[in-house]
Structures are given as C-alpha cells and as structure tokens.
Structure 1
Amino acid sequence: MERRDFIYTTFLASLTAFIPAEAHNFLVSEKDPKLSDFEKRLTPVGRALEFEDFYVWCNSPIEGPDGKIHVFFSRWSKSKGMGGWLNGSEIAHAVADRPEGPYEYVNTVLAPRGAGFWDATTCHNPSIHFVDGKYALFFLGNSNGKFDTKRIGLATADSLYGPWERPNEPLLQPGKEGEWDDFITTNPSFLKHPNGEYWLYYKSLDKEGYVHPKFEIKGNRKYGLAISKSLQGPYMKYKENPVVDFHKMGNNQQCEDAFVWYEDKKFRMLARDMGVFGIDKGLYMDSKDGKHWSKPQIGYQELSKYIEQPIAPKHLNRYGRAERPQLLFQKGKPTYLFTASQGGKYETASAFIFKIN
C-alpha cells in the first residue's frame, strides 16, 4: 500500500469512530460497486402497521384520490406463528394521512372463502394498482392450505373502499406438465406497458432441485412474464420464459418477491435476494425491454445497515431482513419503499418503510 493510500485509509477509520452508523454506511457504500444507485437513495423511516394480535406482511401502498395513503396488506393470527401465511392469511386495508403513518385499519377486503374455492385457505401477496379507471388488486390464493395450490388472482373495484369484485377462477394457472412453471403461480407484479399491453410477472419454481445448505427449498425460483390485451386477461405466457433465471450462476442462486415498474424509459425490478449477495438483502435490476434483465446489484441491505434492533427472539428465524418490496408512487415517481420484516414491539412482523430521496 502506498503511503498516500495508507494515510487516507487511516483517516477514514479514525473518522468513522466518531460518526453515527448511518454516516458510516454512507461512506462505505459510496465505493461499493455492488450497491445500486437505488439503494443509495434510501433513508430508513421505520416500522408501521404493527398489530398486537397479527403478523403483517406484503404491504402494498397507493395514493388515493382523497390524498391519503392506502396500504393493502396481508395479515394472519399471531397464534399461527410465521407459517400462518400459508393457511390463514387475509388481505386488509389501512389508511394514513402521510406515507410514514400512523395507519388505521379500515377493513378486511379478501378473506379465505372456504372449501370449494381456489382461494379457500389463504389470500396473500396483495399488489394494488390503479388501471383504466379501476383499482386492480392482484393477489395469490390456495385451496388446501399448502404450497402446491398457490395461484394468482385479480380483484377489482371502482373505489379503494370497495366493494371488490372477486374472481371465481385464478387469473394465471401453472404451465403444462414438464414446463418450467408447471407447479405454481405466485408473487404477482403488474404494470401497464407504454404500448398499452398488460404485463404480469410471476414466480414459479422447479418441483425438484438441489437443496441449498443455507435455506431449505424444493427447487430454484424463476420469474416468467404473461401478457394480455386487457386487464382481465387472458394472459398469454411469453414464449422465451423464464425472463429471470439465476440457476446457471451456481450455488442455487435465485430471487423472489419481485416488484417491477417502468420509469425514465426503463423497466426496473426489486426482488428479495436468495443467495446472490446474501439472503438478507434485496436485488435491483433494470431492462430496456422488460424481458432481458441486467445483472443484479444490491437494491437494499439487511436492516442492521440502517437501524439498530433488539436481539432476535428465538421464534423469529427470518429476523433482520426486509422482504416483499413494494413502491409508493406520487406524481408518477417512486417516493417510498414499503417492505415487510419480522420483529417490532409485538415480536411478530410488520411493515418497514424507507423514503426514496
């Protein structure tokens, strides 16, 4: 190391001993090529939507015509533990005067319908959009309380306060036997393309596959694209699917929880990292056509990079990471990142919000 570099490094080390953690993270991140420009714009706001008797997940925000911020979120009974999302989640509506909150529960808009329905046992993964004068609430349901019947659906309403028209059939079914997506359709992410088409991104996974030593899974998660000429479908799957597939990168790297949007003539994606940079981080990618995506960068980091939290309770094994990224748009620009994270004052799970500078 040259003397000039040594002096500079020593200066930084001594400086960071006297500055807050947030500033330290800023100094480090400025020189980290793995961090996306998106990540560098994030400022942590903190938790919201904490309810004593519920786990809260999948927080999807939208600004209403009343100027208020509406969030559609998943919740399930605290008594079910973290795994209750799979066999007892409902989708609820909350409202606040400001993106930071506080939020007031309004009502439950979609609940499991019981035996005989495709969404009999859970309603989860809400993603709210205003499309063609209607509110479109994409979500997933299952019919047996298990993983293998997860399907994407679409509910619509003229008002954020409902009533919601509920689908009798899923919006997107799995592929034929032997196709890459022949197991499930889940994690919907929607946008209306500038050309007027309706684009739906969805996750599926291999039924069988190598099990990564750091997290038990039953296959590699990938993302497909389905396109329609109308909001209600039918959605035709892109013939070159999957459009996001990390399995060739080795070590069973993958992602989930994708959120896709179009901004400044580019398609952009946030997703939960599952082995690229670390399973507690988020990913950022962009694309010129929405079909061929850039190499991933870090979209957001583990919460310890932004805040200090208490020691993890023993019953929360996903503590410290932010999942299910969803964006709030105001005047056509993303202004806040809403995520879901275990923890909070009730030791369950809640929203965790970032401001986008």
Structure 2
Amino acid sequence: MKNKTNIVLIISFLVFIVCLGSCSKQIKAKEYDSASYKRFKENKLRYEKFNEFLTDFKFSEVKGIGYEKGVTRRDPSSIIKVDSLYYVWYTRPQENTKVVGIREANESSRAYAWDLSDIWYATSPDGYNWTEKGIAVNRGEKGRFDARTVCTADILVANNKYYLFYQAAATLEQGRVPVGTFGGDFLSNKIGMSWASSPNGPWHRMEEPILAVGAPDQWDGNVVHDPSLIVRGGKYWMYYKSSPRTPYIVENLKGNVFSKKYGDIVNAWGVAIADNPEGPYIKSKYNPVVVGGHEVIVWPYKKGVCAFVTEGPERNSIQFSEDGVNFYPVAHGLQKPEAAGFYRPSNFTDTDSLPGQGVTWGLSHVLGESDYLRRVDCDLSLKKAEKVNANYQQTIEWMNKK
C-alpha cells in the first residue's frame, strides 16, 4: 500500500512538472520599453529611409525677380502653369520707400516691410528665368478696407477663373505701436479677393472682404494673414494665420478684451471653408488647426493636406492631415523654405478626383535690406513616396512573418 502511494505521488509530481513547463512556455516574458521606444512605436515614427516626408531643401538664385537694390519682392504665391508658362504673384512695395516704423510712417514711407504694397506677378518658361509683368492687383481707393496695402497673395484656379486672395489694411491707424522703433502689424485687417478670366488679368476686385478677425477673446482676434488654398471634397479650404490678443506676447494692444484662453499661443493657423470660390468662408469649429507656424505653407497630398510649420512648439516640421483639420508631425528638424510658395502641378484639381501629387519646387523669399525671391527645390512627390512606402511595407511584412 505504501509503495502504491509513493508511485502515485511520483507520477503526480512528474505531471505537475510537465504542466509547469508547458505553461511557462505560454506565459510571455515581460517586456521593458523605454519612453523613446514607446514613442517610436505608438506614434508610428519612421527612420529616414522609410519616411516619405523627409527631404532636403536646396536654394538657388533666379533671374528677373531676384535681388535688386532698392526693390522689395516677398511672400510668393503658389505657382501655377498655364499653357507653356509658370505664373507667380508676390508682394512688392513702392520702390525706394524706406521702412521707418509706425511712428514715422506716412504716405511715402512704410511702417512695415509689407506696407504700401501692391500684388505683382511674373512668368517663366522654366522656373529659373522670370519676366516681371507688372501689377496684378493694386491698393484700393481711399476709404476702402484695402487702401493702405495689399500683400501676401495666393492663387486659386476654379470654374475657368483665377482668384487672388490677399491680406489688406485700410489705414495707418490700424498699425500697432511696438515698444521699439520697428515691429508691429496692421491689426484687425481683412482678407480680400480679386478674380480674372486670365492669369494676366484684368483683375476685378470684390467689394467686400471675404474674411475678418474673430472676436477679441478668440484665438484669431488680432489679424488674418497668409491665405492659402486647397480644393478637396468639393469645397474650398482657405488656411490662414492669426494670433490671439495677448498683452504679454503682443505689446501695446488697444482695448480691454483679451484672449486669455489662448494666452500661451503666439501664432496659429485656422481654416475657413466655402462651397464656392467667392465664399462665404466659414471658420472651422476646430480652429486653430495648427498651433505654431508663421507664413502659411500648405499643399495637397494624396487626399489630405501637408503643411510646413516654421515656428512654434513643433517648428521646422512637415505635418500631414488626412481630413484637413487634424495635423500630425511626420518629419522634423528640416531647413525651412522661408514663406515658400510651391508649384501646384494639378492646378487646384479637387483631391477627390485627382490625389495631390506633392511638391518638388517653388519660390521662397530672403529677408534683408531689399527682400528678394529665390528658387527652392525638394522631393516631396507622390512618386517618391510610393517607392519609399513599398520598401517600408516589405520590412513590416518580414517582421510579421511567422
């Protein structure tokens, strides 16, 4: 009896050992991940060779709209191609008018670099050799919202027409007085529009502005700047830059209503959407859609929107949004193309019918005593992306292969 009991105990013990070994194989060893590795996996970050949004921006001089002493050319628009010529629009103030600051400015001297400006345009057969054609849209008559300056334009092609969007100011009285001699801006300015049947004009000015600043306590209570257009989902998306009324960041603001909710924001971007090119443009309830940035640099990519954000907490990054509202950084630490306007190969075709092809070149400005335009080249094309993503997918499939 005692021997039988021992045998049973031995067998039970052996069964327990076998089960324990089997179970231990099924229990996954605990993984210890650093914060860096967690960000890498959770945010779906990619190394350079797998990232379609990484590129080098290379700059070169152009003829015709490059450096010229005493002449300022800045803030180029998106570039379009009509027949055999490329077209660009840009800000050009009166020649030999000095920037003296808001305190000393008058009818023949500028408060800011973009003061006393008109919208000029130029054409090129190759993107390097440009011919300046003259004024496209000039300042409005006295008493209008665009009488003092029109600047920082962007182009839209729609319904067999050409539309220019631009920021505008009425009088010097709109100018904010900075602490020092220079700095400041035209506050509570407007965004205006002109249209033409040809890129060469003549341009017909809309009587009323198409966008104004928000309420004094909102994120866009100061200015509306840098309109830039995307066509997607059968609608016209106008991205713009603004800033909140925050005396700790923007000195010498007039009034007693401020944007306390947005007190830690310096600049941000919003979007206003319309069913027709002429508007009305309705601001998104999700604004601001990009926290940071300075000049608005956007372009259609696939069925979404790409943005280059030059300032703020995510400075010098490319960001991508599938829905045009929720942007996520996809490339960091890039050399910035200052105020770039890129060539739009689709000429503003709706991304629902033709996915955005990306960008490969454009124009940016160089700031100095006489601001000027230069060419910028890169490779943010859909063609490159297809190769990069195919390589990445092969790697993922290998990692998941049993």
TM range, normalised to the smaller chain? 0.7 to 0.9
Which residue is 1:73 aligned to? Answer: 90
Task: Write the distance in 2 (CA, Å) between the matches of 1:353 and 1:37.
Answer: 22
Per the alignment, residue 354 of structure 1 pairs with: 376
| CA positional deviation for 1:142 | 0.4
Distance in 1 (alpha carbons) for counterparts of 2:217 and 2:280: 22
Counterpart Cα distance in 2 of 1:298 and 1:138: 30
Q: TM-score normalised to the size of structure 2?
A: 0.65
Conserved? CA contact 2:219–2:244, under 8 Å = yes
Contact 2:304–2:320 under 8 Å retained in 1: yes
> Is the CA contact 2:78–2:88 (under 8 Å) kept in the aligned structure 1?
yes
- Residue 370 of structure 2 aligns with an amino acid whose one-letter code is T
For residues 136-285 of structure 1, the aligned pairs below 5 Å read 136-145=163-172, 146=175, 147-193=186-232, 195-211=233-249, 220-245=266-291, 254-274=292-312, 276-277=314-315, 282-285=316-319
Any unmatched runs of 5+ in structure 1? Answer: 1-30, 213-217, 246-253, 303-321
Letter in 2 for 1:351: L
Cα deviations by residue, 1:1-32 (Å, 9 ceiling, x for unpaired): xxxxxxxxxxxxxxxxxxxxxxxxxxxxxx98
In the aligned structure 2, how far is the partner of 1:211 from the partner of 1:178?
15
Instruction: Give the deviation of 1:37 after TM superposition.
Output: 4.8
Letter in 2 for 1:262: P
Counterpart Cα distance in 2 of 1:290 and 1:47: 33
Query: Which residue of structure 1 aligns with residue 360 of structure 2?
Result: 335
Q: Which amino acid aligns with 1:97?
A: P
Q: Which residue of 2 aligns with 1:132?
A: 159
Shift of 1:38: 4.1
Q: How does 1:52-131 map to 2 (within 5 A)?
A: 52-76=69-93, 77-81=95-99, 84-100=112-128, 102-131=129-158
Aligned to 1:291: 325
**Is the contact between residue 71 and residue 95 of structure 1 (CA under 8 Å) also seen in structure 2?**
yes
How far did residue 224 of structure 1 move?
A: 1.2
**CA–CA separation in structure 1 for the residues paired with 2:131 and 2:309:** 28
Helix, strand or coil for the counterpart of 2:296? strand
Give 1:258 shift.
1.4
C-alpha distance 56-83 of structure 1, shift in aligned 2 (>3 A): farther
Q: Is the 2:299–2:358 Cα contact (8 Å) retained in structure 1?
A: no
Higher Cα radius of gyration: 2
Q: What is the distance in 2 between the residues matched to 1:224 and 1:204? A: 8
Task: Give me the CA root mean square deviation.
Answer: 2.8
Q: Do the aligned residues in 1 keep the contact of 2:153 with 2:166 (CA within 8 Å)? A: yes
Structure 1, residues 232-283: CA drift from partner, whole Å, max 9, x if none? 11111111211112xxxxxxxx311112222223310123324644xxxx43
| TM-aligned CA deviation for residue 201 of structure 1 | 1.1
| CA 323–348 in structure 1, closer or farther in 2 if over 3 Å, else same | same
Post-superposition offset of 1:210? 3.6
The answer to whether the 8 Å contact 1:209/1:219 transfers is: no
CA contact (8 A) 2:62 2:130 kept: no
Task: For 1:328, give the aligned amino acid.
Answer: Y
Question: Sequence identity of aligned pairs in percent?
Answer: 24
Return the structure number with greater strand share: 1
Matched residues in 2 for 1:97 and 1:225: separation? 33
Distance 1:118 1:106 in 2: 26
CA deviation vs aligned residue, 1:124-150 (integer Å, no higher than 9, x gap): 011112122111111110011321132
Per-residue CA deviations over 1:190-224 (Å, capped at 9, x if unaligned) read 1111x201111111111115449xxxxx9611111
What's the TM-score once normalised by structure 1's chain length? 0.72
Distance 1:162 1:75 in 2: 17
